[in-house]
Every structure is written in C-alpha cells, then in structure tokens.
Structure 1
Amino acid sequence: MDDYPIPNIPPVYWKAISNNDSSFDNKFYYGVKTTKIFCRPSCKSRTPNKNNVYIFKEAQLALEFGFRPCKRCQPDNLLLPNEEWVELICDWIDENFQDDMTLNSLSETFHSSQFHLQRTFNKVKGESPLSYLKKIRLTTAADKLKNTDYPIQVISSDVGFQNNAYFSTAFKKYYNVTPKNYRKQFR
C-alpha cells in the first residue's frame, strides 16, 4: 500500500492519461480524488486536474482506498452499482452546488454520457440531477433567509443562481412565497 498515492506522477503516465493511451491499460490505473472514481489510462472522460490524480498499480488497490470504478471505461470490468454511483453524484452536488453546473459538466465529471446519467439518476432518485441541484440550492437559500441577514441578492449568488430574477421565480414556485416574504415569516 506504499504505492498510494504516487506523489509525482511520472510524465509518461500523465501523457498516457492525457492522450487516452490504451497501450498503458492494465499497467496502471488512475483515481481522481475529488470524485473518488478510478479509470484506465484509455478512458475517454475529460482529463482530470493533475493535482487530483493518484496512480494505482492495480484496480484492487484503488478499491481498497475507497475509489469506485468508472462507468465509462469499466476498469477490470468492475462496475459500480447504480445506487452507489448516484449517491456519489448527490454527494458531489451537495458539496459543489454553488458552482456552475450543467448536465454536461456532471456527465464529464462522472464519466458517463448525459443520457445515461440523466436516466439512471432519475430511475434511482425519481428526479433529474438538475432538479436535485435546484432543490439543494433552494433549501440552502431558505435556511440562509431564515438564519442570516444577508441581502437576498447575495444569498441568490451564494447558492449558485446566476440571475436574481430567476432565483426569485424558482423560489416562489418551490415555496409558494417570494424570498422576501419567506424571510418576513421568520422575523
């Protein structure tokens, strides 16, 4: 286990990852610490940030350290069950909801097609990933409206809404009251 992590990725390994070089498959695997997913070097997913990459000599070692196999490249033909995969996506959204996020960026992050991610997430959670994201943003905004004196525009921006008018419309649709009147209910 002293192979984890390789602190300085050998340039030849990084080149293999960057170029999706299949000649390195089964020679090493790489894990991305932000998503806890590991891949073959030939994986066609977006190239990760080099600072977030760990190198493993065997797929089993990646599993032992809590990394899950990629849905796209299926290293060693291992496949993460849909429920666990969706929970990883939910955890990611919960931690990064304030960032700009699209179905495309989620599918790239979680090594899947947009269609597969949308369909699987909907099947497991009963809602789309973007509906889940909006719900997290709105419930967080509601909590901030109740418990802080931050201006509504600041809260809107803090929870990831790029447009204050859209935030107000979405909030009213979800809570049946405007953000301003919601805050007044708790004062």
Structure 2
Amino acid sequence: MAYEQIPEEYWTAIKDCDKSYDDLFLYGVKTTGIFCRPSCRSRVPHIGNVAIFKNADQAMAENFRPCKRCRPEGLSLPAEEWVKQITGWIDQHYSSPITLQQLGDLFHGSPYHLQRVFKRVTGKSPTEYIQDIRLEKAIYLLEAGDQSVADVGASAGFPSTPYFISLFKKKLGTTPAAYRNKTGRKKNEH
C-alpha cells in the first residue's frame, strides 16, 4: 500500500527530479494513474495527487501504469497500448478543450512523439481523432433535433460555432442545419 503521507525528502526529490532517489521509491499521480521514478522530467504534480510506492509491483497492484518517459523498472508500454490509453481518455473528455501538450503531459511523452506514434497506430493525428469524435456526437445531437446548431457544436466540444459549421461542411459536404433538415424529413417520411 502507498504511504499515507509523503516524507518531505521524497517530495523534494520529486520536485528536483533527483536521480539519487530512483532506487528508493516510485511515485504515482492519482489523477493520471501513472507512476514514475523521482528523476522523471514530467510536470511536477500537485502534492495532494501523489502516492509513494516502494516498488513497481506495489504501484501496479494499485492500478497505476508505468510512465513512458522514465520507464520505472525498465518497462515500456507497446505503442498500441499507449495509444489505446490516450484514445480512451479522449473518448471520455472530448467535449473539453484538449491540446497536444496536455496529452503529452498526461501520458508522459513529448507532444511530437505522441503525435507521431498516435498517427502511426490510428492513421490520424490526435486532433483529427478528437474532431471525428466530436463530429459523431454532433451528428447524434442533430438527429435528435432538439438543440440549436450553436448548442450542438458547444455540446460536442467545438470551440466556436463557425469552426463547427466549417468543419462539419468540410467533412460531410453539408451544413449542420441542412443535415438536420434532411435527416428530420427522412424521419418524418417513415
């Protein structure tokens, strides 16, 4: 089980990325479910989100996964598994603003590396994947027909109505309003 309270010297080691503590403990970040070595160069977490572990087995027993950046215990997730974790997170948070930097911080990889691996595994960039998820949600909401186009775009996570309309038209060849009218007529005709 993780330490209940973080010893001050361990917290200092985490903040300072002190390599001399790497063999003494590992730390997990509760908000991401990832555990790291004290020397990891990832963003320093909030102290309240940190759990301390004696070893990797202890961290994994509490459902933490190893960091891709510092590779505690030398483990590395296969690219497909890493991308699966990223897409799972995106699927749950698609309606919030998501940046490549944020994904890199959350999943312990540089934004460039994350983008390259993500595209190799899925065939699309993280941004394209996010757009596709949002468009799927928008189509569902438009077919339900009880929200304005602006509300549909906002509910699906698009940053602005003009951007939503432009992307929708580019990807589907019609505007959201025309799509809703077309699908609404089809529903009414049956």
TM-score for the superposition, normalised by structure 2? 0.87
Could you tell me how far 1:181 is from its partner in structure 2?
1.6
2:29 is equivalent to residue 29 of structure 1: no
Flag structure 2 segments of 5+ consecutive residues without an equivalent: 185-190
Greater C-alpha Rg: 2
1:107 matched to 2:107? The reply is no
Mapped partners of 1:144, 1:9: distance in 2: 46
Indicate the residue corresponding to 1:85 in structure 2.
82
Instruction: Map residues 29-178 of structure 1 onto 2, 5 A cutoff.
Output: 29-147=26-144, 149-178=146-175
* Aligned CA distance change for structure 1 residues 146 and 111 (closer, same or farther; 3 Å): same
Q: Is the 8 A contact 1:21 1:42 kept in 2?
A: yes
Contact 2:158 2:164 in 1 (8 A): yes
Q: Offset of 1:8 from its aligned partner?
A: 3.3
Q: Alpha carbon RMSD of aligned pairs, Å? A: 1.8
Contact kept in structure 2, 1:35 and 1:88, CA below 8 Å: no
Distance (whole Å) between structure 1 residues aligned to residue 4 and residue 148 of structure 2: 44
- Whether the 8 Å contact between 1:71 and 1:111 is mirrored in structure 2 is yes
Of 84-93 and 158-167, more deviation after overlay is shown by 158-167
Aligned length: 184
Q: Which moved more, 1:159-168 or 1:31-40?
A: 31-40
Is the Cα contact below 8 Å between 1:16 and 1:42 reproduced in 2?
yes
Q: Secondary structure at the match of 2:163?
A: helix
Give the aligned residue type for 1:60: D
Identity %: 46
Q: CA deviation at 1:137?
A: 1.1
Flag the 1:43–1:172 CA change in 2: closer, same or farther, 3 A.
same
C-alpha contact 2:145 2:180 (8 A) present in aligned 1? no
How far does the alpha carbon of each residue in 1:144-164 deviate from its partner, in whole angstroms, 9 at most, with x for none?
222251222122222222221
Secondary structure at 1:34's aligned position in 2?
A: coil
